[in-house]
Structure 1
């Protein structure tokens, strides 16, 4: 156990700047349920999470680096019991591994550290679901590269919930939040035909990027089409199609998939996006799926949020929804 903690620290995973103290009076609350790495006593947790607080690589001005801290601070406002599904999430064991310790100025070094940290988390907790909290969307490419290094003989697929394709040319734009999917395709980590993007809509992707997506075989499902088919039906079908093609699926949730009215705290938020309920339904479906093992949440900027923090709260709720799906799947598995 101590060897694992030391290995994580050597790979830049350190205690977060916000750790809740244990308080019996708050029994049943999320901030008392999630166990900090400092308190972990060994065993195989169902879930491990870690923060990737980087936003210097964002195309637009972003404080997404502040989200891992805001995410943790908001836990106290949520209980572990999901009334809609009649299940208590405390049936899952969750360990918070902390945050990736980043370089002060060097973005490339930051990306390398995130890749190492993601590799360490996946290597030492192979039986656990891994949850990454960004950070801008550039961290997804790092995380998937780290995951690939743990499973070099496996084919990785991506289920992407996003308003954007994130297929800008890295040669022109660098390793930004606009290029992660193309980075992975051109780096030979993921094939375009193994990427499914759900949530695209409106006037937010240029024709040349759509053409590149088609050329690479990316399954681009517009939000309009997903609504016609049913959001959960679309998610289920996409996961099933990916499962037939790949060995391992990585889910990435760009919070700009939400309509701007639901997510004012997202730098690239747009009109015409998903409602929070549509996203919550999608995440519940994802969490219940047998192939669900890896997910990240990116591009949420708490510094742009309104006074009541609606976007941060939606982000925590999103995490809890996918955990609800995982808890339901665990209960169903135990029931036989």
Structure 2
């Protein structure tokens, strides 16, 4: 690679929003290493032979956020938004725990619990899609309704109580390891790759973006936006259900008031960090993936540094604002303009006069 080609490569890379997300992850990890040089160390648990360490915790914590961020990316690309994903996580957790508490400890019961949870959240996602695509409600209002109603549905399912169950196969989804890597993270990566392959190797991704750019023009071009909108909201609901299964599987308990609480905001942040436009018409699944990792790293850093819970939102906001400024083309152009407009050094002026 020539010097000119290398310079062009780095310039193109810097323009990609997810690049700054990776930089932010490295910076946060470096901050933790400064406090504790052993922060990145990995060790093997002598009891089960699994890898343990802060990096493993980050990967496990990022998996549910990745799931809802991927679904949110597709919904936002259509010009909509899904505020109900956190509540759907609670519904999925309530359904699976209630089912397992009665079904017992077997592999078949675990599969049935997961399947039932995804069917229910897929149906609720379809409700969002119908309200948006066919009834004509604004996505914000339609999903806000289910955001409020979802936890009520979860309370009805559990009778208003935190439900606990026992099933080793179900627990393995969230707590198991394969080659030292958490199963939950591997599952999340495989789902991201599968969704990315479908939307980018087919016309589906282009049609979703077309709807977000101009719904009327896309309809005149032969795209049926109603069916696509319904599909994206169903997919968002199913991915939220997977995230809910991942969340409750780690402790085998669903807390109706805490499971998925405010994770819809983390999903939106992950999508924005990844470079998607909230106005629709543009999405990046790889960017959302990096954004979810950043959110998990940031949450872990807040706990590790011992930042007060009252100051936690301000710290997270500071990091996110700084990152968004780094991503902004306008801000970077302003810095370039300021650098070019710097006055000429006096010594250089004297040399020019003498010449």
Q: What TM-score range do you get, normalising by the shorter chain?
A: under 0.3
User: Comparing both chains, which one has the higher relative contact order based on Cα–Cα distances under 8 Å and sequence gaps of 6 or more?
Assistant: 2
> Which structure has the greater CA radius of gyration?
2
The two structures have a TM-score, normalised by structure 1, of 0.26
How does the TM-score come out when normalised to structure 2? 0.25
Flag the structure with higher helix content.
2
Query: Which protein has the bigger strand share?
Result: 1
